[in-house]
Structure 1
Amino acid sequence: MTDDHPTYGTSLGVSDLHTISLLGRDLSADLIGRVSFGHLAFQLITLEEPTPQQARVFEAVLVALADHGFTPTAISARMTYLSAPESIQGALASGLLGGGSRFLGVSEDTGRFLADALAELDELPTTEAGWDAVAADAVRAQRAAGRFVPGLGHHLHKEGDPRTPVLFAIAREEGQFGPHLALFEAVGRVAPEVTGKALPLNGAGACGAALADIGIPIELLRGVVLLARCAGLLGHIAEEVRGHRVAAAVFADVERHAVYVDPTAADE
């Protein structure tokens, strides 16, 4: 008698009564205690084992993106925990759901912007001047279309994002400074002249370029950002749990200073 039940193929994890297999290897015997979480995450995403060089860049990006203080996503996680302390998953989810074009989505937007510009090239530049020309064209096209240039500028680090040069240096040290980072670096050089504004290259954009250069698919870049930020959000929730209740103070302050505005009244 044959078993005609359909099967559901996966290259990730499968389990039976006694074993757990992940990526074709025994989870307990081959992976637990033998690989880092970053190493495993890279392999789950790409189905390829990272080289030590790729792994260092990947881990550096995860650290760079883990937390950035009281951002809207962190505040959202804290406020949700205040409202529903029985649902830590809801608090984490609320923070992750806020990942968009202004916070947490910049890495993906930058990676896509760079990838689109690179796709237009017949061959990669070999000189700094060549990269600058490509970057200038890409920035002009973006602005002509009425779009912001992703990866440029930061609401706080207006004189330079401290993460950016470190990420550049690590990628260079590990031989992972590829075309996305080269183009992104060139954008930073030409943007002041093209845009008329001195805007720094932000760390989120550098992370997107670095991830693209180590082989993370563009459509998954935001997922890596959320993976990193989940650690930071959990840290914010942990502070609330320990009694450092920022959310309660924010709520009380807003409630105390809320005023009614007549929607029919003329703007003053």
Structure 2
Amino acid sequence: MNDEPGGRRIGTREAARLLGVKPATVYAYVSRGQLTSRRDPVGRSSSFDAREVEALAARSRREAAGPSGSASAGELSVRTALTLIESGHYYFRGVDAVELASRYRYEEVAEWLWTGTLMSGARFTAPPESLAAARRAVAALPEHSGPIDRLRVAVAAAAVADPLRFDLSKPSVLGSARALIPTLVGALPEVGPAQWGGDGRLSRQLWPRLSALDPDPDALAVLDLALALLTDHDLAASTLAVRVAASARAHPYAVVSAGLGALEGPLHGAAGRLAHRMLVEVLERGGAAPVVAEYLRAGRRVPGLGHRLYEAEDPRATALFARLEPLAQAGPALGAAREVAAVMARHGGGLYPNVDLALAVLTVSCGMAPEAGETVFAVARTAGWIAHALEEYEERPLRMRPSGQYHGPRPPQPLP
């Protein structure tokens, strides 16, 4: 490959040689977001930044070396008793998270994460003052505002309405959390009928903010399962942002704002939206092969596939697919998702469906907007963020202060 202004670029075979993998696996790295590719002007192949490939190869060698290779020593490690991801499963406080979420509702799973006690029948209620403030703030946003925009504004408004927000004692934080989550849901604009009421469950409150269709019990059960499964997932980027804010003793509303800020990035919160649009395109074109081909030809990752923490299928996706299977309306989208996975399996990338693809099946089959998956993710993960904030409040303040490795010009330099 020729050198370009942005640095030396190499082809797929050279990238595969440097990484010590098959060429097909290079595209698996692209799909996982570990490499970026660019289609050449002719449109027949992709090129890669040589420095990025070499950095990934060096990182892979360090990880393969294990603890003695000093990879672990240079990485930030945070002690937590909340979520363990191990051998293709994940656990909340030592309990299989899929089994927990399959048996208990979102609010009960949240209470388990927060307190280690299962509170059967737990329900969250939004205080009238906070809800009114959040709704006024959200209503003032431009019509094109996205779900994360609305949630961030709702959090800020709810914070101002809570005079006890600076009390970081556990009872006070838990009180704020139980009020904040339904406030976030209640502040979102309704797109469907709310007159059918319900029993106060958060999934019932959230449904008319996501879909104009009347919910059936089975579809509601899938939404509740999705919320419970997504409550926490160890130290994702947004959760790390939350712990940094909590380390500085930011109040719970501020730490949730930090998490929502991290979700604004395209590599964390937007995957569900991309997977939704891909499934719609597959359904419109009558097959996954041409859609996947276009993604690969453009050097783009195929959304909804692969997760760096799981070698096989994401257990959250497995659980959601199983619950979606009996839903008649989910049949076409579920078939499209499986076809995408099958096409990629023939491609040889070793990628399996993740929770974003399963969420996309739910949102497509229930008449929801492409961004509905982001809303579900953000609302669900708020409980996990609060749990991590509670843990961090018990640690030494300001401990999240890594040292920078300066690579600039050595002083003294002349004054500019």
TM-score by length of 1: 0.73
Quote the Cα distance in structure 2 between the aligned partners of 1:62 and 1:205.
15
Kindly indicate whether the alpha-carbon contact (under 8 Å) linking 1:54 and 1:176 is maintained by their aligned counterparts in 2: no
Residue in 2 that maps onto 1:165: 318
Selected match of 1:61 from 226, 240, 250: 226
Q: Superposed, which structure 2 residues align to 1:110-125 within 5 Å?
A: 110-121=275-286
Residue in 2 that maps onto 1:5: none
Letter in 2 for 1:146: G
1:135 Cα deviation (Å)?
1.5
Kindly indicate whether the alpha-carbon contact (under 8 Å) linking 1:117 and 1:138 is maintained by their aligned counterparts in 2: yes
Quote the Cα distance in structure 2 between the aligned partners of 1:179 and 1:232.
32
Selected match of 1:193 from 330, 342, 346: 346
Quote the Cα distance in structure 1 between the aligned partners of 2:231 and 2:244.
19
Kindly indicate whether the alpha-carbon contact (under 8 Å) linking 1:152 and 1:202 is maintained by their aligned counterparts in 2: yes
Cα 1:176–1:165 change in 2 (3 A) is farther
Quote the Cα distance in structure 1 between the aligned partners of 2:323 and 2:194.
31
Residue in 2 that maps onto 1:206: 358
Cα 1:45–1:159 change in 2 (3 A) is closer
Residue in 2 that maps onto 1:127: none
Cα 1:119–1:24 change in 2 (3 A) is closer
Cα 1:43–1:168 change in 2 (3 A) is same
Q: How many residues align?
A: 220
Letter in 1 for 2:318: P
Kindly indicate whether the alpha-carbon contact (under 8 Å) linking 1:38 and 1:59 is maintained by their aligned counterparts in 2: yes
Q: What is the root-mean-square deviation of aligned Cα atoms in Å?
A: 2.6
1:224 Cα deviation (Å)?
2.0
Letter in 1 for 2:384: G
Residue in 2 that maps onto 1:41: 206
Selected match of 1:240 from 363, 388, 392: 392
Quote the Cα distance in structure 1 between the aligned partners of 2:396 and 2:239.
11
Letter in 1 for 2:385: L
Cα 1:247–1:180 change in 2 (3 A) is farther
Selected match of 1:183 from 325, 333, 336: 336
Identity of aligned residues (%): 25
1:24 Cα deviation (Å)?
6.3
Cα 1:198–1:79 change in 2 (3 A) is same
Residue in 1 that maps onto 2:77: none
Residue 98 of structure 1 pairs with residue 280 of structure 2: no
**TM-superposition CA deviations, 1:89-134 (whole Å, max 9, x none):** 221011112113322221111111111232334xxxxxxxxxxxx1
Q: Which has the higher contact order (CA 8 A, sep 6+)?
A: 1
Quote the Cα distance in structure 1 between the aligned partners of 2:304 and 2:320.
14
Name structure 1 gaps, 5 residues minimum: 1-7, 9-21, 122-133
Matched position secondary structure for 1:158: coil
Matched position secondary structure for 1:160: coil
Residue in 2 that maps onto 1:88: 252
Quote the Cα distance in structure 1 between the aligned partners of 2:362 and 2:397.
34
1:165 Cα deviation (Å)?
1.8
**TM-superposition CA deviations, 1:140-175 (whole Å, max 9, x none):** 111112211001111111222112221111011344
Kindly indicate whether the alpha-carbon contact (under 8 Å) linking 1:108 and 1:218 is maintained by their aligned counterparts in 2: yes
Name structure 2 gaps, 5 residues minimum: 1-138, 140-189, 411-416
Selected match of 2:379 from 223, 227, 234: 227
Residue in 2 that maps onto 1:74: 239
Residue 259 of structure 1 pairs with residue 405 of structure 2: yes
Quote the Cα distance in structure 2 between the aligned partners of 1:24 and 1:179.
27
Kindly indicate whether the alpha-carbon contact (under 8 Å) linking 1:164 and 1:201 is maintained by their aligned counterparts in 2: yes
Quote the Cα distance in structure 2 between the aligned partners of 1:64 and 1:204.
12
Quote the Cα distance in structure 2 between the aligned partners of 1:24 and 1:72.
34
Kindly indicate whether the alpha-carbon contact (under 8 Å) linking 1:77 and 1:95 is maintained by their aligned counterparts in 2: yes
**TM-superposition CA deviations, 1:234-268 (whole Å, max 9, x none):** 22112223x1x3884442xx23xx3332358xxxx
Letter in 2 for 1:46: S
Quote the Cα distance in structure 2 between the aligned partners of 1:247 and 1:103.
27
**TM-superposition CA deviations, 1:170-197 (whole Å, max 9, x none):** 0113445332221111111120223x31
Letter in 1 for 2:296: R
Q: Superposed, which structure 2 residues align to 1:14-53 within 5 Å?
A: 34-53=199-218
Kindly indicate whether the alpha-carbon contact (under 8 Å) linking 1:75 and 1:247 is maintained by their aligned counterparts in 2: no
Quote the Cα distance in structure 1 between the aligned partners of 2:322 and 2:194.
35
Matched position secondary structure for 1:217: coil
